[in-house]
């Protein structure tokens, strides 16, 4: 690698959003992430995301391919390795043997020549509610941030309201979970052949739990995590906001327990039991008759 190439790579990464984008793509390697999903996950406008991806591409750090109507971006792991080798090449008086362990430690998962690349699975999780305006939106925002790049969260409704409850956005923002990207949408958007395949589907309201859901490709694991509807609270705004704060805390607790599960090693039956137990944690709503 020439000095000019290294400078271009460092300059491309010397910006907060581009660094976050590249780290997300490294986590998702070798499969990559659609540009639209990157923009949504990081809360960046689509046109701004395109500009950042173009900078990374010019530096050779990312590449792209078209997949139907989406453009999938992937991290160029070989380029990243070249940058790290460039930094270490002259260390220890130029003794390559002494520097080799340093490079190996820095890139333990990416030495494709010797070990191959073993990516960590990213789980797709859907939160369902009837209106997709409050509880499911909050759950999506919580998992998207707290999942640490290992989860991609979605939400939808059987009969979406079309707008996100402003108290949901206010509470999320106050706890450091900005959700300017959020929108109320139908679960029909996720039933077509272009939709992401879900690993988990959780209903967070009792009405949605009792409705006939779409047939999800991939047969995801499901559970009901019912929370009382904070939007149903009447009275002054301070009481309404208090209800949303309570719902947010219940959801964050459930998601925190979910994130602690050893998903890669636990057997399916035990996992199913754990998911149902999460749905019985403090704050569980009282189901209407006929809803499990």
Last residue of a domain, one of 120, 152, 185: 120
Same domain for 129 and 247, yes or no, is yes
Residue 129 among the catalytic residues: yes
Write out the chain's pLDDT in tens, 292 residues. 677 888 888 899 999 889 988 888 887 766 788 888 888 888 888 889 999 999 999 988 988 887 777 788 888 877 887 777 677 655 555 454 555 555 455 544 544 444 444 446 889 999 999 999 999 999 999 998 888 778 999 999 989 999 999 999 999 999 988 888 899 999 888 877 778 889 999 999 876 555 555 666 667 999 999 999 999 999 999 999 999 999 999 999 999 999 989 888 888 899 999 999 999 887 676 544 433 3
Same domain for 128 and 272, yes or no, is yes
Q: What pTM does this model have?
A: 0.60
Catalytic one of 91, 99, 109, 129: 129
Last residue of a domain, one of 85, 120, 155: 120
**Domain assignment present for 217:** yes
CATH at 103: 1.10.10.10
Q: For residues 142 and 110, what is the distance between their CA atoms, to the nearest angstrom? A: 30
Last residue of a domain, one of 92, 120, 148: 120
**Domain assignment present for 163:** yes
CA dihedral 193, 189, 220, 217 (to 10 degrees): -20
Q: For residues 186 and 159, what is the distance between their CA atoms, to the nearest angstrom? A: 7
The residue segments making up the domain with residue 151 are: 123-278
Q: For residues 157 and 159, what is the distance between their CA atoms, to the nearest angstrom? A: 5
Catalytic one of 91, 109, 110, 213: 213
Same domain for 129 and 273, yes or no, is yes
Residue 92 among the catalytic residues: no
**Domains in the chain, number:** 2
Catalytic one of 91, 99, 109, 205: 205
Residue 99 among the catalytic residues: no
**Domain assignment present for 284:** no
Same domain for 73 and 149, yes or no, is no
* CB within 8 Å of 225: residues ≥ 6 apart: 139, 202, 203, 204, 251, 254, 278, 279, 284
């Amino acid at each position: 690698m020439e000095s000019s190439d290294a400078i271009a790579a460092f300059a491309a990464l010397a910006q907060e959003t581009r660094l976050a984008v590249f780290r997300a793509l490294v986590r998702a390697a070798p499969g990559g992430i659609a540009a639209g999903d990157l923009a949504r996950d990081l809360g960046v406008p689509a046109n701004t995301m395109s500009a950042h991806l173009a900078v990374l591409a010019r530096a050779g750090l990312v590449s792209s391919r078209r997949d139907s109507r989406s453009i999938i971006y992937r991290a160029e792991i070989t380029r990243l390795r070249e940058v790290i080798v460039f930094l270490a090449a002259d260390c220890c008086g130029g003794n390559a043997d002494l520097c080799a362990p340093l490079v190996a430690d820095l890139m333990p998962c990416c030495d494709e020549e010797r070990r191959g690349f073993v990516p960590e699975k990213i789980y797709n999780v859907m939160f369902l509610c009837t209106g997709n305006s409050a509880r499911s939106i909050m759950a999506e925002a919580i998992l998207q941030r707290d999942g640490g790049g290992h989860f991609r969260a979605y939400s939808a409704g059987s009969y979406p309201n079309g707008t996100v409850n402003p108290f949901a956005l206010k509470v999320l923002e106050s706890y450091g979970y900005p959700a300017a990207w959020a929108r109320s949408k139908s679960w029909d958007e996720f039933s077509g052949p272009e939709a992401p395949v879900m690993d988990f589907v959780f209903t967070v309201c009792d009405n949605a739990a009792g409705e006939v859901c779409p047939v999800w490709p991939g047969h995801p694991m499901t559970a009901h995590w019912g929370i009382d509807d904070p939007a149903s609270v009447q009275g002054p705004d301070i009481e309404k906001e208090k209800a949303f704060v309570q719902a947010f805390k219940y959801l964050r607790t459930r998601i925190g327990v979910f994130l602690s599960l050893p998903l890669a090693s636990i057997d399916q039956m035990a996992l199913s039991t754990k998911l149902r137990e999460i749905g019985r944690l403090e704050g569980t709503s009282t189901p209407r008759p006929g809803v499990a």
